[in-house]
A = this chain, B = another copy of it.
Amino acid sequence: MSGVMSRFLSNATNRIDSKGRVSVPASFRSVLVERGIQELYCLQDFIFPAISIGGPDLLDRYERQIASVDPFSPEANRMSLLVHGGGVFMRLDAEGRLMVTDFIRDFAGISTEVTFVGRSDHFQLWQPQAFHEAQAAARAGRVPRPA
């Protein structure tokens, strides 16, 4: 069971409440539990107007990439600006909700609803219509336009 279930799949759209919270889909939450993920690392996607969310290992992978070049080089400085300066740790509340901060709203263009999209080892937050359009574009075989 755990083998198949322990990855983020499919998508779901939930509403943001008056306090700016949104429920993470239960199927995603169970994956987080199976993977032992308690701290969520959130990062602006490099291509799409979406927020990528995963465990601390997601950050580790980017840091290994940064470590592979000269740490004082402009290249490392630039990557750190994105990965460290643009990333945030968050945690869910007791009911499995997360705060939709301005950081998320502004970058993803989210206002009242959030679409959760599974990406196997992590998941993403999208503005619902933007997700549908990106998916339609992908289905048509065209190259999606970056933000």
Contact = CB atoms under 8 A, between A and B. Distances in A.
B86 A135 contact: yes
Interface of A: 4-5, 7-11, 39, 44-48, 56, 58-59, 61-66, 68, 72, 74-75, 77-89, 103, 117-120, 124, 131, 134-135, 138-139, 141-147
Interface of chain A: mostly helix, strand, loop or mixed? mixed
Given A9-B88, A39-B5, A44 B118 contact: no
A145 B89 CA distance: 20
Nearest to A83: B144
20 contacts: A4-B39, A8-B84, A9-B84, A9-B89, A10-B85, A10-B86, A10-B103, A61-B147, A62-B144, A62-B146, A68-B147, A75-B142, A80-B119, A81-B117, A81-B119, A81-B134, A82-B144, A84-B117, A85-B118, A87-B118
